[in-house]
Amino acid sequence: MRYFILTLLISCALSLSATTDYLVVRQKTGDTSFSITTIKEISFDGTGAKISFNDGTYQSYAKGALVSLRFNAELSGVDQDAMLSGPAIFFDGNNITVVGEVCDVINVYSLSGALIISGDGNCLDVSDLIEGAYVVQAGSLTSKIIKR
């Protein structure tokens, strides 16, 4: 009996530690979820989102059909309530990504207004920035980021 209870407790502990982190794609027609371990890349452009998988397949979602993308686990730098109905600036600690708006350039300014770094496109590597607060301007969007 002790062996059975011990086996049951170990089994429960292992199943709890093996919880899969997943991405939920919420569309107007319903939700779909994917294990994070199967996702290679998530990309965005002016028309929507594309999720590429490790096996070479992908899923595309039109901007007008998407409601949100949400992770079931706290992932550093990911806005858990990111709505794709409008443009947004995301910062993961190393990269600035503009979603939902095509922009020619991303500018990063110090709080005193000096241009610190600039880059073309919808993604900018800012891993070399020193710790501090910055203002990001991309297209019609403006946001504050804090580099730690």
Task: With cut-offs at 50, 70 and 90, classify the pLDDT of residue 67.
Answer: confident
Is residue 8, in this structure, part of any structural domain at all?
A: no
What are 14-52's pLDDT values in tens digits? 334 444 677 778 777 877 888 878 888 888 777 778 888
- Domain check: are 147 and 97 in the same one? yes
Task: With cut-offs at 50, 70 and 90, classify the pLDDT of residue 106.
Answer: very high
| b (16+ CB within 10 A) / e for 103-112 | beebbbbeee
Is residue 6, in this structure, part of any structural domain at all?
A: no
> Where in the sequence is the domain holding 28, given as residue range(s)?
19-85
Where is the domain boundary, 85, 109, 138? Answer: 85
Picking from 25-34, 111-120, 137-146, which range would have the lowest pLDDT averaged per residue?
25-34
Q: How many domains does the chain have?
A: 2
What CATH number does residue 139 fall under? Answer: 2.60.40.10
- Domain check: are 24 and 80 in the same one? yes
Task: With cut-offs at 50, 70 and 90, classify the pLDDT of residue 116.
Answer: very high
- Domain check: are 26 and 81 in the same one? yes
| b (16+ CB within 10 A) / e for 79-89 | beeeebeebbb
What CATH number does residue 46 fall under? Answer: 2.30.30
